[in-house]
Amino acid sequence: MNGNAYLPQLARIIHIKEEVPGARAIKTFRVEFMNGGGFDHEPGQCAMISVFGKGESMISIASAPTITDYKQFSIMRSGRVTTAIHDMKVGDVIGVRGPYGNRFPVGDWKGRNLVFIGGGCGLAPIWPVIQTAVANRSDFGRITVFYGGRTSRDIMYAAELEKLRGEADVYLSIDSPEDGWDGYCGFVPANVMDKPQNPHNAIAITCGPPIMIKFVINNLREMGFADEQIYTTIENKMKCGIGKCGRCNVGKDYVCVKGPVYSWAQLKSLPQEY
């Protein structure tokens, strides 16, 4: 981070991929810093993206820390700033400041089985964790990935998930049956219950719509996962990134400072404001 916490670095968009079409469109942007700028990050951290003249928005960094040539952000179109980003083209320049927030403690999970559970755009914040675990495959036990979208057209990182099958057990789902779909039909929490995970020596990481997270955690606890074995991120609560604006607080915690990554044991002690 440079000396002025509010001053973004300039970055040029070098690649845009349309992940999901429609009203809740998701695009993945790769950006490279200009003028020798840049910063390192850890899995779970976020960055503030600026579209000059429009505003800025906190976005999870969706690329693995080992990738140094660019930063990747997968962004759902949902407001003024994200719509402006979606309208941008390769070669356009944005502002990026960060990294902000804490990280998933991946290093503490060596030797353990990892169960990732994502829904919708919630795959993006945990994707760097998956990529880090796969890049250090021998450090971890079994890796399992559950991910679901409303329809087959809502599955982001589709090609990347298929490539992942060689390194992890991947279980995809959509909400309702479709012609040609041979994966699970039903909500993500139900898919998890359909394939119960052994909690022994395991860590579960989940991110997605709040209602999905609620039922996923209920199901994991029913399988025997302890609160300390379940992690999630509430990056949607992050605002200015440095805890100065006071709009990120959940109870006593400023999420920009203490979060966004929490174990369920930590999160359940906070008011249910997230």
Annotated binding site for [2Fe-2S] cluster: which residue ranges? 240, 245, 248, 256
Give strand pairing partners of 49: 57, 96
Continuous H helices in 78-209? 80-86, 123-135, 158-164, 188-194
What is the torsion angle, in degrees rounded to the nearest 10, for the CA atoms of residue 228, residue 234, residue 237 and residue 242?
70
Q: Coil, helix or strand for 80? A: helix
Strands 26-33 and 261-263, how do they pair?
unpaired
Assess contact for 80 and 51: CB atoms under 8 A.
no
Q: What residue numbers does the annotated binding site cover?
A: 240, 245, 248, 256
**Nearest-CA neighbor of 260 among 240, 244, 236?**
236
With the C-alpha atoms ordered 131, 259, 71, 151, is the resulting torsion angle positive or negative?
positive
Q: What is the C-alpha separation between 217 and 230, in angstroms, rounded? A: 8
DSSP 211: H
